[in-house]
Every structure is written in C-alpha cells, then in structure tokens.
Structure 1
Amino acid sequence: MDISPRQVSAARALLDWTAALLAEKAGVGIATVKRLEAGETVRPASSAAVKAALEGGGIQFLSTGQSGGKGGEGVRRT
C-alpha cells in the first residue's frame, strides 16, 4: 500500500515527531520527508523507509474503507 502525504503528516503528528526525527529514523534526508509530505515525487525506497520508520513507531496505515466505515485513508496509533 502506498502512503499519502496526508497520512505521513498525520502519522508524524500522532507520534509527535519532527520532520528531522522522522528523517533520522528512516535514514533519509529531511528534504525527502518534506517532499513526501508535500506530495512531490520521492524514490520508492525512500517512501518505503519512511513508512517502515512510522510503522516501527507504532503507526498503522489504513486504506479507504479499511476501518469498517465509509471513511477514506487514515492512520492509527497501535
């Protein structure tokens, strides 16, 4: 599942992580995190690293309708 810019921002907010901390945990540059959150193109490996870092922090990514309702994509802290 690809992650959206809104999901990255929401996940980071739930964890109370700065962009710099997420970049450090993902092993990517802070500019990569900011580009990803802005919806700009980043390398697939960088996106996967960011997703893995957020999941390692306890985030679960939800696709549209996955939470049992009619809602769109989202995140949940586990």
Structure 2
Amino acid sequence: MPLFPEQCRAARGLLNWTQEQLAVTAGVSRSTIKDFECHRHALHRSSEDLLIRAFEDRGVELLFEGKEGFGVRLSPLDAAKAS
C-alpha cells in the first residue's frame, strides 16, 4: 500500500520527530520528506519502503483500509509500554 503524505506527517507526530529526524533514521534526504509531505512529488518505491520501515521499527502502524479511511496508530504493545 502506498504511504500518504498525511500519514507521514501523522506518524512523525506520534513519534515527536522532525523531518530531519525521520530523514536520518530512514536514510533519505530531508528534502525528499519535505517535498512528499507538501505534495510536491511522489516517493520512489525504495524511499517509501525506507520510511515505512523506520515508522514500523518504532511501533507505528500504518492503517490503509477501513470505514474511517487511512491513518496511523501506535501498535498495541508499544502503546501499553508508554502507559
């Protein structure tokens, strides 16, 4: 499933990450993230995979289907650790 710009911003928010922190963690440039989140361009598949892996490795689940639409959430195990 493709990563949406809104999901990327929301996932960074859950982790309290800046674009720079995501870029370093995922191994992509900050301008790639900035341009993607501002709808300036789509991600290359390899960059998208790196961003998704960075989020999932930190416990963020990307939600793609359902009656509420797409979104993000912390995985139940990670959310339990935080409380």
Q: For 1:1-78, list aligned pairs within 5 A.
A: 1-39=1-39, 40-65=41-66, 70-78=67-75
RMSD across aligned positions (CA): 0.9
Q: Output the amino acid matched with 1:14.
A: L
The C-alpha deviation readout for 1:22-63, integer Å capped at 9, x for no partner, is 000000000011122122222110111011101111100111
Q: Give the percent of matched residue pairs that are identical in Structure 1 and Structure 2.
A: 39
- Normalised by the length of structure 2, the TM-score is 0.83
Runs of 4+ displaced beyond 3 Å? none
Q: Supply the distance in 2 between the matched residues of 1:12 and 1:22 (Cα, whole angstroms).
A: 7
Structure 1 unmatched runs, 5+: none
- Name structure 2 gaps, 5 residues minimum: 76-83
